[in-house]
Amino acid sequence: MNDAPPLPTLLVIPTGIGCAVGGYAGDGLPAGRLLAAASGCLITHPNVMNGASLYWSDRRIHYVEGWALDRFAAGELALAPVAGRRVGLLLDAGIEPELRTRQIQAAEACRATLGLSIGPVVTTDSPLGVGLSLGPSGSSWGTLERPDALLRAGEKLVAAGATAIAAVARFPEDPGSEALAAYRAGSGVDALAGAEAVISHLLVRQFGIPCAHAPALAPLPLDPALDPRAAAEELGHTFLPCVLVGLSRAPDLVPLVPVGMAAGARLEAASLGAVIAPAGALGGEAVLACAARRIPVIAVTGNACLLQVNGAALGLEVINAANYAEAAGVVLALREGLDPASLRRPLGPLL
Amino acid sequence: MRPSSASTRSEAVVLSQRFAGQEEGIDAAGPEPPAGDPPGLVLLPFCFWLPHAAGPTATHDPEDPTASATPRSDPPLPPDPAGLRCAIAAHLASLGWPGAEPLRWAITAVDPLRGLQLEGLGLHHAEQERR
């Protein structure tokens, strides 16, 4: 048992850039759990925590959607833990009836089995029209034909008392595509991720409450050579349970109070002790905002991705860690007040 | 989450050309709302290079977000995310979407000559009248 005070730590594994760890179906979760144990307080985002039907609930882990995470790191939002919340279910009108029923049954299962508070259910007034694309860097991006329909449905949920929104949109699919085969074999980029992020970013930005997204997709044929990191998505008919669990205790997003007012139990960027990200993906807003605050940046060199935006390229001072186990050691050192440099050799002179 | 039909690399080349203001590119005004769509929100994919001289650490000049393409010889200074957000907004405004804001973005490449590649999606509201 660690008796040092928790060291609030931010874990970022960007979605849609082919991360070897966290670029698949909740395969960043073991790293998240370890870092939660090392830090005593981990703030991270759905891409790390969501494993379709698989999830892990831990009071030390704060589930914060990416847009809110960026605003938190920028010092514009604080996080206030809650006992629980009512998760409204937003369904895309483009989902076929059978697939829609599967989503609703997954939500019913989470009510009956986990005791989550879920509802109401609102369907968009027109199909959202999710479009997928890859950006010039190869990162996955996506867009919506009808963002207005998404927000109208969200408005109904909020008006009906939902304090979080789980959105399910119909995503285009092609079971025979080379990209899908590569992903299931453990290489390539998660092409759905970019559009998923756009949906949740729009909702959180508009309503200021926790939101996350699960895609609606038809089941795939059995693949005996499936990569373990992609296996979580083959377990059921929906990817919804992890989202409902994550949102059920996601913290409130609170506009930061003026200086001098009591912060209470809120978490603020000013209290962060470390931020952890893949070494080649340091160019996101949250990491840059933390670096600007001189929060130690732990760059995980062993989590390869498409990008080469590293500390040297950006002029950021970073602490390199070969993998997440080493990163957890660095976090423990910081939590204990140790200079991580003192644990490495050679130990350079002060002058 | 798994890939889908629009995600092969060859398709990506085509799709990436929809990114507003990319160097080679194309569709300089960004996407149009779908026909018949009430003019509510418009999502604007973008990708552009922000030269170092204007960039990451300098005080941002919204009138001249791409001031120079001078190669950088000194070590880089850390990018200022608030300045980058302003640069993205200025880029979108220069493409005819004044008032648009970055919704999701990242630096996706760094080049000593061209600067920082900023890639992402902007958001424009109807009430922000398009030029």
Q: What 3 state SS string does A16-60 have?
A: CCCCCCCCCCCCCHHHHHHHHHHHCCEEECHHHHCECCECCCCCC
Range of the domain at A219: 87-248
Find chain A residues with C-beta within 8 A of B119's C-beta: 135-137, 139, 141
Q: Is residue A259 over pLDDT 90?
A: no
Under DSSP, the state recorded for A339 is -
pLDDT at A234: 84
- Which pLDDT score, from 0 to 100, does residue A262 have? 57
Residue A2 lies in a domain: no
Residues A271 and A286 both lie in one domain: yes
> Looking at A226, A248, A270, which one is the last position of a domain?
A248
A155 part of a folded domain = yes
Q: Where are the domains of chain B?
A: 41-131
Q: Is A120 found in the same domain as A66?
A: no
Kindly state whether residues A217 and A308 are assigned to the same domain. Answer: no
Q: A271 to chain B nearest CA, in Å?
A: 19
On whether residue A351 sits in a domain, the answer given is: no
Q: What is the mean pLDDT of chain A?
A: 94
Q: Would residue A1 count as lying in a domain?
A: no
Residue A209 in this model has a pLDDT that exceeds 70:
yes
Task: Walk across the sheet containing A274-278 and list its strands.
Answer: A61-63, A42-44, A9-11, A274-278, A297-300, A319-321
Using a CB-CB cut-off of 8 Å, the residues of chain B touching A281 are: 106
Residue A133 to residue B6, Cβ atoms within 8 A:
yes
Is A348 among the domain residues?
no
d(CA A129, CA A149): 10
**Whether residue A298 is found in the same domain as residue A269:** yes
**A284 and A144, same structural domain?**
no
Query: Does A227 lie in the same domain as A104?
Result: yes
| Span A112-130, pLDDT tens digits | 999 999 999 999 999 999 9
> A313 to chain B: which residues are within 8 Å by CB?
76, 110
Would you state the pLDDT for residue A193?
85
Check which CATH number belongs to the domain holding A69 and give it: 3.40.50
Residue B129 has pLDDT above 60, yes or no: no
Nearest Cβ partner for A147 among B3, B6, B41: B41
**Which residues in chain B are contacts of A148 at CB distance < 8 A?**
37-38, 40-41
Is residue A168 domain-shared with residue A132, that is, in the same domain?
yes
Do A332 and A277 reside in the same domain of the chain?
yes
Domain identity same for A107 and A229 = yes
Which of A231, A248, A265 is the endpoint of a domain?
A: A248
Those residues with Cβ within 8 angstroms of residue A1's Cβ, 6 or more apart along the chain or in another chain: none
- Does A4 fall in a domain? no
Number of domains chain A contains: 2
Is residue A212 in a domain?
yes
Same domain, A148 and A203: yes
**Residue A186 and residue A59 in one domain:** no
* Same domain flag for A92 and A234: yes
Which has the higher per-residue pLDDT, A259 or B30? A259
Q: Where is the domain boundary, A223, A248, A273?
A: A248
* Three-state DSSP state, B85: helix
Task: Classify residue A202: in a domain, yes or no.
Answer: yes
pTM: 0.88
**What is the pLDDT at residue B128?**
58
